């Protein structure tokens, strides 16, 4: 097979079950929610399976996120773009270009207005869910493979970088809230405890749990497993 044509082949299948839109069936970030539960419950049998193909310009290693109304899917691609796709038609709603390939899985803000995704351009990108326009970008010191998570108030988004740091970034303006240097690359995606007082994540040196003070300004206490 001509290696120059591989990126034209089918790269994403949307396996869509039209489930009732309830809190338990939303999937707005990597592994569903801030605790990465990764499951769906529904009180009715799923209808007939619907398969839609959507082509990006390269491989898709990112996991998709679905808007709370179930109408739009967001997914990154190694083609450097974050894609917004109409779930019913499989047509592109918009696409947002970053400076490099995307391995990170997107996260949606609690109000559904902002999509967050990391890129190998060393940045976390905040994108307007309505039109795919850049809201802000935050520069780290290496690739961002980690998938971000956001607190329930929508104030702070957390993401790791291969530079070894965990970043907490203020959603309002993209400014730094805090960073924590682990000394090892961070590939994993952070999760928040149910009460959102502890942030858990792994790096290449060890596993961390960081105690957070619940306020508009999060402060770290080093509590290392």
- Span 13-40, pLDDT tens digits: 344 333 444 444 555 555 555 544 455 5
Q: How many residues comprise the chain?
A: 225
Contact 111, 138 (CB under 8 A): no
Distance of alpha carbon 92 from alpha carbon 86, whole angstroms: 6
Distance of alpha carbon 151 from alpha carbon 154, whole angstroms: 5
Give this prediction's pTM.
0.79
Any domain includes 149: yes
Any domain includes 131: yes
Any domain includes 194: no
- Coil, helix or strand at residue 54: strand
Enclosing domain of residue 145: 3-185
Any domain includes 69: yes
Any domain includes 120: yes
Distance of alpha carbon 50 from alpha carbon 37, whole angstroms: 25
Distance of alpha carbon 53 from alpha carbon 42, whole angstroms: 25
Distance of alpha carbon 98 from alpha carbon 79, whole angstroms: 9
Any domain includes 216: no
Tens of pLDDT, residue by residue over 185-211, are 999 899 888 888 888 888 887 877 777
Any domain includes 213: no
85-89-91-96 Cα dihedral, nearest 10 degrees: -10
Any domain includes 74: yes
pLDDT by residue, tens only, the chain of 225 residues: 333 333 323 333 344 333 444 444 555 555 555 544 455 566 655 556 667 788 899 999 988 998 988 899 999 999 999 999 998 888 999 999 999 999 999 999 999 999 999 999 999 999 999 999 999 999 999 999 999 999 999 999 999 999 999 999 999 999 999 898 988 899 989 988 888 888 888 888 787 777 775 444 455 555 455
Residue 22 belongs to domain with CATH number: 2.130.10.10
- Residue 136 structure tokens: 């802000």
Domain total in the chain: 1
Contact 81, 67 (CB under 8 A): no
């Amino acid at each position: 097979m001509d290696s120059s044509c591989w990126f034209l082949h089918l790269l994403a299948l949307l396996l869509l079950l039209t489930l009732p839109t309830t809190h338990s069936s939303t999937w707005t970030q990597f592994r569903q929610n801030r605790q990465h539960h990764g499951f769906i419950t529904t009180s009715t049998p799923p209808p007939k399976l619907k398969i839609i193909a959507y082509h990006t310009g390269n491989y898709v290693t990112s996991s998709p996120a679905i808007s709370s109304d179930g109408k739009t899917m967001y997914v990154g691609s190694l083609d450097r773009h974050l894609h917004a796709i109409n779930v019913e038609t499989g047509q592109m709603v918009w696409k947002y270009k970053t400076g490099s390939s995307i391995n990170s899985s997107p996260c949606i803000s609690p109000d559904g207005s902002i999509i967050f995704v990391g890129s190998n351009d060393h940045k976390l990108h905040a994108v307007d869910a309505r039109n795919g326009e850049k809201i802000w970008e935050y520069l780290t010191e290496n690739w961002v493979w980690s998938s971000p998570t956001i607190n329930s108030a929508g104030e702070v988004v957390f993401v790791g970088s291969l530079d070894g740091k965990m970043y907490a970034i203020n959603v309002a303006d993209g400014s730094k809230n805090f960073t924590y240097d682990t000394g090892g690359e961070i590939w994993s995606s952070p999760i928040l405890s149910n009460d959102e007082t502890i942030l858990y994540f792994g790096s290449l040196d060890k596993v961390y749990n960081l105690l957070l003070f619940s306020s508009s300004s999060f402060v770290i206490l080093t509590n290392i497993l």
